[in-house]
Amino acid sequence: MKRFIILVLAAALSSIAFGQKKSGKLIILHTNDLHSNLTGFSPELEYTPCQTNNDSTLAGFSRIATVI
């Protein structure tokens, strides 16, 4: 019975997805070579994630998010 319900739900959801005529835009952003520097590295007192090139900090997902 569970398999039947899952099958019915999957069919309903797929028919809804294919029934839409709008096409969307998908952008894939790939970042590489961060070497586990999630917050950047340098003296933490100088770290300003929303501004780049104003200190000696390198890398960091905060800066990537700011650029996006």
| Identity of the amino acid at 65 | A
- Which 8-state DSSP code applies to residue 29? -
Using 50, 70 and 90 to split pLDDT, how confident is the model at 10?
A: confident
Q: Is 37 exposed, middle or buried (0-12, 13-18, 19+ CB in 10 A)?
A: middle
DSSP 55: S
**pLDDT value, residue 24:** 79
| pLDDT at residue 15, as a whole number | 73
Domain extents in the chain: 23-68
Give the pLDDT confidence of 25-43 residue by residue, as tens digits: 888 877 766 665 555 555 5
At 66, list the tokens. 């700011």
Cβ-Cβ contacts under 8 Å for 6 (sequence gap 6 or more): none
